[in-house]
């Protein structure tokens, strides 16, 4: 989305869209976010390393779960939102002319997690927040966003409708736009999670190996992909390292726009899907696309069905005892059920297998919604 109002000019010290930029972002937001837990699950690792059918792919996978469902506001989005606010504060300090952007506030559009994240980050700095939310957003996400003090404006569910509502808010308030994913500050903030995850896995592995063993690190990370902010940020965090990064999407009603664009060489700019993975209903943004595809920092994209997402969600609830939303498990669903991905790992890793990081990106889901998902027919 293009911001129709002037925004603070980036300072020469603004972090670049590189791994170094992620390092700088991590230091800036450290006082505001949680270092979320890294968990393993023997049962899910065994399932991922078992053929789904006779003759099916049989990769060796060791799974590590980054629990961003336990991040502030219940999702990774807090990282990008706090980074965007802190960068704005650095670039445009208060003035005495009565024209300070802080008094006019910030605005965004989001189905829920970025909405909550920006509302919290703005409140922390005493800045008004205007949040455009689709009217079909889940009630818990609406309630939480309002609870953080934001002014909520409802809109239709498509990107076009959301952006039109944002333009109206900007025209009436002069608020500064902070997009949910298509912005350098958001991308760098989300990337801090990937850097944190790689370090946690390395520390865990070091404690399991003998002193004479060579150091190990993650072979790959899979993140969910909606607008691409997290995927591109994690890709930047792994730039120049041996850790490969992959994206995971729902296939329902064309929600796998990132995958289709990646393999056709053309970014898809519009998506209209009601996949149960509601956080992934948006098209990949232009800036994430430049990192994911044009710079080739993402090694591949994979998609899964609604039934596979539900199966993975049930496994996380029953085996890991964690509250996560459907969007959070698309990466796990790829590792468990996508035969193309599984065959690729088996082919490239051989008997050694892969240490694979999976991002549980959020846990904002209502009990009512879960009941409907798992209701008996």
Q: Predicted confidence band at 305 (pLDDT cuts at 50, 70, 90)?
A: very high
Predicted pLDDT at 7: 39
Domain range annotation of the chain: 19-74+186-373, 77-177
Per-chain mean pLDDT for the chain: 92
Domains 19-74+186-373 and 77-177 alike in fold = yes
Q: Which of 77, 237, 327, 361 is catalytic?
A: 77
Average pLDDT over residues 32-37: 98
pLDDT digit string, tens, across residues 142-190: 999 999 999 999 998 777 888 899 999 999 999 999 999 999 999 999 9
Q: Which of 181-195, 270-284, 313-327 has the lowest mean pLDDT?
A: 270-284
Q: Residue 151 and residue 132: Cα distance in Å, rounded?
A: 9
Residues 305, 275 contacting (CB under 8 angstroms): no
Catalytic residue check, 77: yes
pTM for the full predicted model: 0.92
Please provide the size of the chain in residues.
Answer: 377
Question: Which residues, 6 or more positions from 138, have their beta carbon under 8 angstroms from its beta carbon?
Answer: 111, 112, 278, 364, 365, 366, 369
Rounded to 5°, the CA angle 44-45-50 comes to: 95
Strands (E), the chain: 38-39, 61-67, 106-109, 129-134, 151-155, 176-177, 220-224, 244-250, 300-304, 354-360
| SS3 state at 324 | coil
Average pLDDT over residues 75-92: 95
Helix, strand, coil percent values for the chain (each to nearest 5)? 50, 15, 35
Residues 131, 153 contacting (CB under 8 angstroms): yes
Q: Predicted confidence band at 296 (pLDDT cuts at 50, 70, 90)?
A: very high
Q: Give percent of the chain above pLDDT 70.
A: 93
Catalytic residue check, 111: yes
Predicted pLDDT at 212: 63
pLDDT digit string, tens, across residues 114-153: 999 999 999 999 999 999 998 888 788 899 999 999 999 9
Six-digit token string for 252 = 């329902």
Q: Which of 49, 110, 111, 138 is catalytic?
A: 111
Predicted pLDDT at 112: 82
Predicted pLDDT at 6: 38
Write the burial class of residue 131 (CB in 10 Å: 0-12 exposed, 13-18 middle, 19+ buried): buried
Six-digit token string for 377 = 């027919």
Tell which CATH classification among 3.40.30.10, 3.10.150.10, 3.40.50.1100, 3.30.1180.20 matches the domain 19-74+186-373.
3.40.50.1100
Question: Does domain 77-177 match CATH 3.40.228.10?
Answer: no
Q: Predicted confidence band at 96 (pLDDT cuts at 50, 70, 90)?
A: low
Average pLDDT over residues 236-241: 97
Question: Which residues, 6 or more positions from 289, have their beta carbon under 8 angstroms from its beta carbon?
Answer: 228, 261, 267
Looking at per-residue pLDDT, the higher value among 90 and 9 belongs to 90
Q: Predicted confidence band at 216 (pLDDT cuts at 50, 70, 90)?
A: confident
Q: Predicted confidence band at 101 (pLDDT cuts at 50, 70, 90)?
A: confident
Average pLDDT over residues 219-224: 98
Average pLDDT over residues 94-110: 80
Average pLDDT over residues 28-55: 97
pLDDT digit string, tens, across residues 338-355: 999 999 999 999 999 999
Comparing C-alpha atoms, which of 303, 284, 304, 302 is closest to residue 294?
284
pLDDT digit string, tens, across residues 4-18: 333 344 444 567 999
Q: Residue 217 and residue 107: Cα distance in Å, rounded?
A: 39
């Amino acid at each position: 989305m293009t911001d129709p109002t002037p925004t603070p000019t980036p300072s020469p010290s603004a972090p670049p869209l590189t791994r170094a930029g992620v390092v700088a972002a991590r230091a800036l937001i450290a006082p505001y976010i949680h270092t979320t837990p890294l968990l393993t699950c023997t049962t899910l690792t065994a399932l991922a390393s078992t053929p789904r059918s006779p003759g099916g792919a049989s990769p060796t996978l060791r799974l590590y779960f980054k629990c961003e469902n336990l991040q502030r506001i219940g999702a990774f989005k807090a990282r990008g939102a706090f980074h965007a606010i802190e960068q704005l504060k650095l670039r445009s300090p208060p003035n005495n002319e009565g024209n300070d952007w802080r008094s006019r506030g910030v605005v965004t559009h989001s189905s829920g997690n970025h909405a909550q994240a920006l509302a919290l980050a703005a409140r922390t700095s005493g800045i008004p927040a205007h949040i455009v939310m689709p009217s079909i957003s889940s009630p818990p996400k609406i309630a939480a966003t309002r609870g953080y003090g934001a002014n909520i404006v409802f809109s239709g569910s498509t990107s076009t409708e959301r952006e039109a509502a944002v333009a109206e808010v900007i025209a009436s308030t002069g608020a500064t736009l902070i997009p949910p994913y298509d912005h350098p500050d958001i991308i760098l903030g989300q990337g801090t999670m990937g850097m944190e995850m790689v370090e946690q896995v390395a520390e865990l592995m070091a404690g399991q190996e003998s002193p004479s063993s060579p150091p190990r690190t993650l072979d790959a990370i899979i993140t969910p992909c909606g607008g691409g902010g997290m995927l591109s940020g994690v890709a930047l965090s792994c730039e120049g390292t041996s850790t490969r990064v992959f994206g995971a999407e729902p296939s329902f009603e064309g929600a796998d726009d990132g995958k289709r664009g990646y393999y056709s060489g053309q970014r898809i700019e519009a998506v209209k899907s009601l996949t149960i993975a509601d956080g992934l209903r948006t098209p990949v943004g232009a800036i994430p696309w430049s990192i994911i595809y044009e710079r080739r920092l993402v090694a591949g994209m994979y998609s899964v069905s609604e039934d596979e997402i539900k199966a993975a969600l049930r496994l996380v609830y029953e085996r890991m005892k964690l509250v996560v939303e459907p969007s959070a498990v698309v990466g796990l669903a790829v590792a468990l059920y996508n035969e193309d991905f599984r065959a690729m790992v088996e082919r490239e890793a051989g008997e050694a297998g892969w240490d694979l990081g999976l991002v549980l990106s959020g846990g904002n889901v209502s009990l009512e919604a879960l009941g409907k998902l798992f209701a008996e027919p």
